[in-house]
Structure 1
Amino acid sequence: MELAQEVGARLRRLRQDRGLSLSELARRSGVGKGTLSELETGRRNPTLETLYALTTVLEAPLSAVVGPAVVRGDAVHAQLTDRVQDAVAVSEVYRVRIESGAVQRSPAHAAGTQEHLLVLSGTARVGPTSAPIEVGPGGHVQWAADVPHVYEAVKGDVEGVLVVRYPVE
Structure 2
Amino acid sequence: MCPHTQPQPSDVSAPAPEGSEVVEGADHASDDTAHASQPGSPTEPSPREQIAAAIRRERTKAGISLSELARRAGIGKSTMSGLETGTGNPSIETMWALASALDIPLARLLDPPQHEIALVHADDLPDLPSTASNYAATLLSAAPANSRRDIYLIRAEPGTPRDSQPHPPGTVEHVIMGSGSARIEVLGESYEIHVGDYFTYPGDQPHRFTALEPGTTATFVVESR
Structure holding more strand per residue:
1
Normalising by structure 2, we get a TM-score of 0.37
